[in-house]
Structure 1
Amino acid sequence: MAAEEANSSTSLLDPVVVDDIEEDRESFDNGATSSRPKEPWKGEYAKSILYAGLDAIVTCFSLISSISASRLTSADVLVLGFANLVADGISMGVGDFLSSSGEKDVAAKEMAVTEWDVTNHGSLEKMELLQKYQALGMDVDDAAKVVSIFAKYNDILVHEKMMAHGRLPPEEAEKPWKNGLVTFAAFLVFGTAPLLSFIVLIPFTNSDLVKFVGACILSALALTLLGIAKAKIAGQNYAFSVVVTLFNGAAAAAAAYAVGWTLKNIAGLDG
């Protein structure tokens, strides 16, 4: 069905354009895509999962580092760690929900304003769009032709006007509550990684130092996985993304450890 529609659409094009399309298809089929940049991953909730996960690991591991520097017990680490994890997870989830909901509401309001402008000041709106295309380098005759075609389709004209002003139309399929839920779940799942060491190693050792080292290893592994995911999503170099992600976590943990050690040993505060 899709092939029939594509062939039907192609038959309406200029013969020269059709020849160019066929050449592009042959080039693609022959593997002439070695210099083509990698496409980013377009997962619907990729952003929520990635940033919630990164924030959760860094936040939880930094807390563990601070507590460990203060020489508190493993029980203290688990109680404070999970309490902080749930509280921050709820905060992150609600924050993502409110942010996504606000963006959608603003986009819907801007679209309503644009629809009114197109309906009541159509000539002015078409002139602005014409000038926008000219500013982008389009010939005045071609720009006028494009605008005149868009003017036949009110929805398309509204969409182009919003895009010309750097505004995206609201995504009707987007559910802000899903974004918030995914963010909350991702925060809990990834934030648990640094704490697992203090749970898994309970039958094997009572040493808080060993458990802390285990937390360091698990946090590094989790950050590495998220660094790889970040590179996949953004189409970046994997090694660079992993190094930056690990450095971010290490810097935050070192700062937290230094603060905890300072308060314990210099300021004379007992945990």
Structure 2
Amino acid sequence: MKGREEKSKQSRRALLEEHSPERIHARLGREPKSQRVSDFVLGAIDGCVTTFAIVAGAFGAGFSESVVLVMGFANLIADGFSMAVSNYEAVSVERDQAAAAARTERQHIDLVPEGEREEIRQIFQRKGFRGQVLAEIVATITANRQLWIDTMLAEEYGISRSSRRPLGSAIVTFLAFIGVGAVPLLPYLIHPLNTAEQFYSSAVLAACTFFAIGLCKGLVFSQRVLAAGVKTLMFGGGAALLALAVGFFLRDIIS
């Protein structure tokens, strides 16, 4: 109990130091960091699901080890590239939308400045500001053109300052897809294992991978770590079970 109280005091001291005026000033002055965690999680989960789905489907259908490896690595490369391109396009669209919204706001400020000031006034009025305080907020924001535009983007369009770069997002997604997606195929590179041993080893590796991805996600986003791991494991395991069921079903139909 005493150790817990001491740890709590140390944590509070560290938090107070982090919120000193100097630290806050330095933190707010930095450019917002581009978030790559979502790109990594997207690629990692999809890569592992895609590859293990092939492994499970092939095992259910009774395919050989060589077929699993060929199908697995072929899909790993092709689907990884496809997902990277899709993420590149998605991030590009986000950036284009933000740029278009910024252009629109610049034009509106030039053409109808009083209307744009009224928008700022009503935005902060909705937040509870009134009278002289509200008037000063409106005057301060509209006196700085870039601040005016940024405020409108954030409040009217929900666009934050943080923006991902399409190429960086695509690369992270592709590398995560390839790196993590290759894990379920590793047992098939070990020749002394028989078909059943290869499959069950692949299943264990895939389960551990799903759980580890969930744990990392929980740590990064300050969620309940164990719950995040179990949740990701359940989602990935569900996809694998569907693939296995389809493999058994098609084997019975085809044979």
Q: Give TM-score, length-normalised by structure 2.
A: 0.84
Q: 1:44 to 1:119 in 2, by over 3 A?
A: same
Contact 1:56 1:190 in 2 (8 A): yes
Contact 1:228 1:242 in 2 (8 A): yes
Q: Which has the larger radius of gyration?
A: 1
What CA distance in whole angstroms lies between the structure 2 residues aligned with 1:46 and 1:169? Answer: 17
Local SS of the residue matching 1:72 = coil
* Alignment root-mean-square deviation, CA: 2.0
Local SS of the residue matching 2:157 = coil
Identity across matched positions, percent: 26
What CA distance in whole angstroms lies between the structure 1 residues aligned with 2:34 and 2:226? Answer: 21
Instruction: For residue 31 of structure 1, report the CA deviation from its aligned partner.
Output: 6.1
Instruction: For residue 182 of structure 1, report the CA deviation from its aligned partner.
Output: 1.5
* Structure 1 residue runs without a partner (length 5+): 1-26, 34-41
Contact 1:100 1:176 in 2 (8 A): yes
Q: As a proportion of its length, which structure holds more helix?
A: 2
Structure 2 counterpart of 1:162, one-letter code? L
- Give the counterpart of 1:231 among 206, 218, 238: 218
Task: Report the counterpart of residue 63 of structure 1 in structure 2.
Answer: 54
Contact 2:34 2:162 in 1 (8 A): no
- Give the counterpart of 1:29 among 13, 24, 27: 13
Instruction: For residue 170 of structure 1, report the CA deviation from its aligned partner.
Output: 6.5
Task: Report the counterpart of residue 97 of structure 1 in structure 2.
Answer: 88
Contact 2:108 2:116 in 1 (8 A): yes
The reply to whether residue 186 of structure 1 matches residue 170 of structure 2 is no
Question: Pairwise mapping of residues 167-182 of structure 1 onto structure 2 (< 5 A)?
Answer: 167-168=158-159, 174-182=164-172
Q: 1:31 to 1:129 in 2, by over 3 A?
A: closer
The reply to whether residue 251 of structure 1 matches residue 238 of structure 2 is yes
Q: Give TM-score, length-normalised by structure 1.
A: 0.80
Contact 2:69 2:185 in 1 (8 A): yes
What CA distance in whole angstroms lies between the structure 1 residues aligned with 2:95 and 2:134? Answer: 31
The reply to whether residue 77 of structure 1 matches residue 68 of structure 2 is yes
Task: Please list the CA deviations of residues 8-35 of structure 1 after superposition, one character each: whole Å capped at 9, or x if unmatched.
Answer: xxxxxxxxxxxxxxxxxxx9537679xx
Residues paired across the two proteins, number = 230
Task: Please list the CA deviations of residues 137-176 of structure 1 after superposition, one character each: whole Å capped at 9, or x if unmatched.
Answer: 222432211011112111111111111203326657x431
Instruction: For residue 43 of structure 1, report the CA deviation from its aligned partner.
Output: 6.7
Task: Report the counterpart of residue 7 of structure 2 in structure 1.
Answer: none
What CA distance in whole angstroms lies between the structure 1 residues aligned with 2:34 and 2:12? Answer: 25
